[in-house]
Amino acid sequence: MAQVPIRIGIIGAGGIVKTKHLPGFSKIDDCKVLVVCNRRRATAEAVAKEWNIPDVVDGPEEVTKRADINAVLIGTYPNLHKDLAIAALKAGKHVFCQARMARNLAEAKEMLNEAKRHPKLVNQICIGPRIQPGEKFMAKLVKDGELGALRMVRANFLLGDALDPNLPMHWRFDRTLSGNQIMGVGIIYEALNRVFGPARTVTASGKVFTPVRKDKETGKPQKVEIPESVCMTGELENGAHYVFTFSGITAFPPPPTIEIYGTKAVLVYDQATHTLRMGKVGKSKELEPLAIPPKLRGEWTTEQDFANAIRKGTPVSPDFKEGMIYMQFMEAVRLSLDQGKTIKLPFK
């Protein structure tokens, strides 16, 4: 039986599309990108030239309406994800959406509801790669009870990319474009949810240190409405306490880590080196290196996963349904920041 040809149209060809998705799709047999559009035609033409993409168009509707494609890759800012995903699904196209599913929970629900109307079409969100190499192994250790009952989980992700107040406005700090998304919180939470499950409560505190930044294109001042530093704490559904700390204003930051404290053992994941250390309560004198088994070491296969889902019907992770979990968390974080109180999950 001949395999299904995959013919892709790209809407939004930014950094990760050029460094990850285009190389990934280029390695898949009988998979071709036929058309691309970007905010500026000149940048779309540059991408088309580099990757031998036959057509460049000026608008998203010129991509979704084409009869010669069966999949759409959405690589735009989050503010366009909802409308583009729904348009593509209505046009009968499989949808691969860049991470940060949407700006808010309401938009994400619309995406999921539309996807449910098209059960034969694949809907996939780009996976967050931050802890991908160790994710499966950590999840297995937790599931198998190797750590005992979980008591505390800490995620620390500190950067200095927003430390300089003279740096121009970045889209990740523009609420019009990003909505409730804050730095890499949603992407990390998506992965952590697969390791030890979702949060039951959220209490958040955030701070904007540079309230105005200049638009890098126009030079006009823009208000910064998304925190440059945020802390979240609460209870997980498994009963453990958690503390997540994210910041873009830390000089000389330590390596980002995931720390899981259980009654039987402690597990620490270094996100910079993708290495694990583990110590057994009452047995180990200190944390010792723990090798990730080759069979459980995660690799970047997201483009191949999308192709397999189209051709073989295999499940993808995350899809829109799974994306709703981190969209709920980000909604709760936003509500907690705005209202100054603890928010309970899940929303009904």
Residue 51 pLDDT level (bands cut at 50, 70, 90): very high
For 10, the token pair is 């790209």
- What are residue 231's DSSP bridge partners? 205, 245
Amino acid in the structure at residue 166: N
Looking at residues 24-31, what average pLDDT do you find? 97
CB–CB of 254/156 below 8 Å?
Answer: yes
Residue 27 has pLDDT above 90, yes or no: yes
Q: How far apart are CA 186 and CA 102, in angstroms?
A: 11
The enclosing H or E element of 325 equals helix 320-339
Q: How far apart are CA 311 and CA 1, in angstroms?
A: 11
Which pLDDT tens digit goes with each residue over 117-130? 999 999 999 998 88
- Other beta carbons within 10 Å of 314: 11
Supply the pLDDT for residue 217: 86
The mean predicted confidence, pLDDT, of the chain is: 96
Which pLDDT tens digit goes with each residue over 280-322? 999 999 999 999 999 999 999 999 999 999 999 999 999 999 9
Residue 185 has pLDDT above 60, yes or no: yes
- Of 33, 116, 112, nearest in space to 75 by CA: 33
For 286, the token pair is 């200190």
The enclosing H or E element of 216 equals none
Q: How far apart are CA 310 and CA 5, in angstroms?
A: 9
For 168, the token pair is 């121009």
Top CATH class of 6-126+301-318 equals alpha beta
Write down the pTM of the prediction: 0.95
Please report, for the chain, the start and end positions of each structural domain, with discontinuous segments joined by +: 6-126+301-318, 132-298
Q: How far apart are CA 38 and CA 77, in angstroms?
A: 11
Q: How far apart are CA 220 and CA 201, in angstroms?
A: 39
Please tell us whether the domain made up of 132-298 is placed in CATH 3.10.20.740.
no
Residue 53 has pLDDT above 60, yes or no: yes
Q: Which residues contact 23 (CB under 8 A, 6 or more apart)?
A: none
Helix (H, G, I), strand (E, B) or coil at 144: coil
Residue 1 has pLDDT above 70, yes or no: no
The enclosing H or E element of 89 equals helix 81-90
Q: How far apart are CA 291 and CA 138, in angstroms?
A: 11
Residue 210 pLDDT level (bands cut at 50, 70, 90): very high
Supply the pLDDT for residue 129: 86
Supply the pLDDT for residue 216: 87
Which pLDDT tens digit goes with each residue over 145-177? 999 999 999 999 999 999 999 999 999 999 999
CA dihedral sign of residues 117, 120, 125, 131: positive
